[in-house]
Amino acid sequence: MPTLTPVPDEGPVVVYSRADVGAEKEEPEADPGDALTLEWQATGATYAVLTHLLPTGQAGQFWEVETSGSMAYAIPVESRNSETFDLFVADDAGRSVRAGLVVTLRCPDTWFFSPAPDECPSGPAVLTDGAEQRFERGVMLWNKAEGAIYVLFDDGGGGSWKVYPDRWAEGEPASDPDIVPPAGRYQPVRGFGLVWREESGVRDRLGWAVGEEAGYQTAIQRTARFKYNEVYIKALDGGVWALGPEGSEWDYVP
């Protein structure tokens, strides 16, 4: 009598993992603030965990769920780019399988300039009073909304930038009378002057101002990455100062 070879049990299987966003699409899309219905079905499993993944890929909030079922999830209004989930299922023998799900988020905001980055900004452009001043080896930018002064260095060591709080207040000296610039050059005043005089290395790296500061209506906007974001600031002449991640580099885009 022949011996029958049993078919091996291969463990749990995820039949599907999907998001109901109110439309039939191969790639689910939703808006920040929308309510999703997450749905899944697994066979051969006795345990399941659904995890929301952070933009870094690390595990965030998680829920112990039935091996097949559904769950409502509210997308935070501040979320950008995508929402990612991981379904983990296992059986009593310790065998497991997981399935990922990515919901693409439609971008609610537009960039203030064009051509724009091929990614979503973190929010609408902030329109505010600004000032700009050119130096022998760089630029200073101020914007009222942040109370910040951006210093863009161009001193031969590779473009880099730093941001400082604007600590100058009305009633304080606008400049230092003991500092006399050479002909055709200027000592920066007010907030620019305070950073230039007191912050380590700024004066030496920038040199003298080559013109007086000018006020204008500026705009500022950032990318929406978890880290290593880029900053875009409207320039006095209508161009854009594009600041790379973590003060690493900068460029001027006309």
Nearby residues of 70 by Cβ (< 8 Å), 6 or more positions away = 20, 37, 38, 39, 40
Nearest to 196, CA basis, from 145, 133, 146: 133
Question: 26-35, 137-146, 151-160 — which one is most confidently predicted on average?
Answer: 137-146
Q: Which residues pair with 88 in a beta bridge?
A: 49, 98
Burial of 221 (0-12, 13-18, 19+ CB in 10 A): buried
pLDDT band of residue 188 (cuts 50, 70, 90) is very high
Average pLDDT over residues 50-76: 94
Pick 153 or 156 by higher pLDDT: 153
Q: How many CA atoms lie within 13 A of 89 on its CB side?
A: 23
Average pLDDT over residues 22-38: 79
pLDDT band of residue 56 (cuts 50, 70, 90) is confident
Nearest to 219, CA basis, from 127, 84, 88: 127
Pick 9 or 248 by higher pLDDT: 248
3-state SS assignment for residue 253: strand
- Beta strand pairing call for 96-105 and 29-30: parallel
Give the predicted TM-score (pTM) of the model: 0.82
The domain segmentation of the chain, as residue ranges, is: 13-105, 126-253
94 Rama sector, left if φ>0, alpha if ψ -120 to 50, beta otherwise = left
pLDDT on residue 156: 77
Q: Which residues pair with 53 in a beta bridge?
A: 59, 84
pLDDT on residue 7: 41
CATH superfamily of 13-105: Macroglobulin (MG2) domain (2.60.40.1930)
Nearest to 142, CA basis, from 233, 222, 26: 233
Query: Does the pLDDT at position 24 exceed 80?
Result: no
Tokens of 168: 């100058």
The 10s digit of each residue's pLDDT in 68-97 is: 999 999 999 999 999 999 999 999 999 999
Strands (E), 144-195: 148-153, 160-165
Starting at the edge strand found earlier in the chain, the sheet holding 35-43 runs 13-20, 35-43, 68-74
Taking the CA atoms of residue 25, residue 29, residue 33 and residue 34 in that order, the dihedral angle to the nearest 10 degrees is 0
Average pLDDT, the chain: 92
Helix (H) / strand (E) containing 139: strand 138-143
